[in-house]
Amino acid sequence: MADQRDRRSRRWRRRRPTPTPGPATTPRPDGASTAPVPLVAPPGTVPVGGPDGRDTIEPQVDAARFELQGRIGAGNHGVVFRALDRHLGRQVAIKRFSHFLADDPRAMRRITREVETLARVSHPNVVTVHDLVRMPDGDGEVTPHLVMELVEGTSLRDLLALRGPSPRSVLVVAGVLDGLAACHRAGILHLDIKPANVLVTDSGGIKIVDFGIARAASDATATVAGTPHYMAPEQYDGRADERSDVYSVGCLLFETLTGRAPFEGTMAAQLMAHRTQPRPDPRASAPWVGPRLAAVVQTAMAVEPEERYSGVAAMARALRSAVADVADPAAPEASAAVDAPSGRPAATPPVVLAPAAAVAAPLVRPLSRPADLGDRPGVPARDARPDGTREPVSSLAGPAVTRWTRLVSLLLGLGICAVVLTVVPMLAWASLELAPARVRPQTMDQMSADAWWMLSVGLALTLLLVRRRRFFQHLAGPEVGSPLPDGPLAPSVGRGVRMALRAAVVGTLPLLVPWYVLGLLAAMTAAGVVAPSDPFADALTTAWVLAPLVALVLGLRGILGMRPRLGALAFSFLLIVTAGGAVAFFLLAAPYVP
């Protein structure tokens, strides 16, 4: 890596125009001097693209315009500096992109397009992007630098570490949703929402920062990265849309209420947990969270994108309606103070705190400064021990899930699924009595109904065993210690029953072949094509009749299964080629079919 940078540095020095003599340092008003700033070509010089997609002649922007005053932070995608814009006399934040991004022309073209879009987003809860300039980095190489608004505040991660979780953090999450709504309207996904990327200003404002891996919502081929603690399951497959940000905000809301991430462990363990584990209930760790607010968290963190909120605006409406779920019912006006009409482009405004009140004070109060996030009124007091420590607070305010309740839910769910797996094949077999005999293969007439029923049930059970972990988790319901749901069945049993229904339908597809053949013959007759008198006369005729069905199934599977990964693309290409072969066979073998 060092040799590569040395070669780039020598190439940049060879092609650099002769600098105009000037002072080696830049004076500052306080008498101090800054580090020497490389001088560049005169204004008007046009950058020339090198073979690697990087500029090899200094660009138009004068590097001396910005004075780097100190490093603010660093991440996987670059380093952020505090800087002074000498032309406008203001403090800014400058992000220097890391070399693995700067060396990728495709990534930089994508970032340039998205920065142009993001610069048009004007929202109080989104950091303002001023410009994308090219400046020499520490190695003397011209690289892209993102000039942004300098936000003076504290990250939500630091506030959680210092003050602990608080139900009042729903105000922060509401502000994050408002800012994301503005970005989504502009077609930009953030894809890395986490406490470290949310700042609370000294005046109580909310700012979303670090759009390092953001991408256009219409860009389905971009490489998606993120933080495993907060990434939606589909991001690991290279797919993302607005609901991916909804999932990340759900994880953020869970952590701000409980003080911990939804899932812990290694990256592989988190990957499996986000995909397969039941959604954790925040009430198990935060007794002040009501059922409606817990439902907002779990809906936003649903595994399947279709089961989440349709967008951040819908989640914001649900969150604001659930704010009163953590407030004292005797003070509705206080909870209404934090409610705001959805869809408005303004930020969540900071409101002056009410005086410290008695027992009737609402649990969620307006936010006016970062220190207020750690204020948790209404939490039951902990009894002091003789040694000065305090007793832990009970994590639940009502009956909790036990192993027995999970077993009851599992057995009842298995009973319902057994009925579904039994009835669906029976209905499919009964429907065959209405089909003409000539469209039924002889095998169906030779085998008994019981044999075909067992075949269909066996196929359905095989499909369920492939996804047995998720299936049984849906039927068993929440983990032991979570709040006990109403009724003997867990709310997630419905998803397990739907899985059983889909498996039963797929298992009965062989019984529905006669109806497919009947439809194919009717379509051929309507089109004026001579249809075979016996669709199952021999192997050639049977293969010819089934070829369109094979082409349809494989073609849809190949198109819908495309992912921006080499293995997935190769498999989809193989399926599509096979589907094309089935179509070719159907067309070429038609003259030879009796």
Q: What is the pLDDT of residues 267-302, one digit of tens each?
A: 778 888 888 888 888 888 888 888 889 889 999 999
Statement: residue 93 has pLDDT above 80: yes
Statement: residue 51 has pLDDT above 60: no
Q: Which CATH number fits domain 2-22+30-149: 3.30.200.20, 3.30.70.580, 2.40.128.20, 3.40.50.150?
A: 3.30.200.20
- Of all residues in the chain, the percent with pLDDT exceeding 90 is 14
Q: State both tokens at 242.
A: 């607005």
Structure confidence at residue 248 as a pLDDT band (50, 70, 90) = very high
Statement: residue 33 has pLDDT above 80: no
Statement: residue 112 has pLDDT above 90: no
Structure confidence at residue 398 as a pLDDT band (50, 70, 90) = low
Contacts of 178 (CB under 8 A, 6+ apart): 123, 125, 206, 316, 344, 345, 346, 347, 348
CB 96 within 8 A of CB 137: yes
From the list 55, 62, 192, 245, the catalytic residue is 192
Statement: residue 175 has pLDDT above 50: yes
Annotated active-site residue 219? The verdict is no
Please report the pLDDT score of residue 178 as a whole number.
93
Mean pLDDT is lowest, of 82-86, 330-334, 388-392, 562-566, for: 330-334
Q: How far apart are the C-alpha atoms of 172 and 323, rounded to whole Å?
A: 12
- Segment 69-74 shows an average pLDDT of 84
- Segment 116-139 shows an average pLDDT of 84
Please report the pLDDT score of residue 212 as a whole number.
53
DSSP 55: B
Please report the pLDDT score of residue 326 as a whole number.
62
CATH class of 153-374: mainly alpha
Statement: residue 305 has pLDDT above 70: yes
Statement: residue 590 has pLDDT above 80: yes
pTM over 0.75: no
Alpha helices in 432-492 (DSSP H): 442-446, 449-466, 468-476
Please report the pLDDT score of residue 353 as a whole number.
30
Alpha helices in 144-290 (DSSP H): 156-163, 170-185, 242-258, 267-276
Please report the pLDDT score of residue 26 as a whole number.
38
Mean pLDDT is lowest, of 204-218, 363-377, 560-574, for: 363-377
The residue count for the chain: 594
Q: What is the DSSP string of 556-577?
A: HHHHHT--SSHHHHHHHHHHHH
Long-range contacts of 555-559 (CB under 8 A, 24+ apart): 555/579
Domain boundaries of the chain, sorted by first residue: 2-22+30-149, 153-374, 398-514, 532-594
Statement: residue 219 has pLDDT above 90: no
Please report the pLDDT score of residue 481 as a whole number.
65
Q: How far apart are the C-alpha atoms of 406 and 303, rounded to whole Å?
A: 21
Tell me if 2-22+30-149 shares its fold with 153-374. no
Q: How far apart are the C-alpha atoms of 580 and 592, rounded to whole Å?
A: 19
Q: Which residue has the higher pLDDT, 312 or 26?
A: 312
Please report the pLDDT score of residue 3 as a whole number.
55
DSSP 483: B
Structure confidence at residue 415 as a pLDDT band (50, 70, 90) = very high
Task: Give the CA radius of gyration of the chain.
Answer: 31
- Segment 25-35 shows an average pLDDT of 39
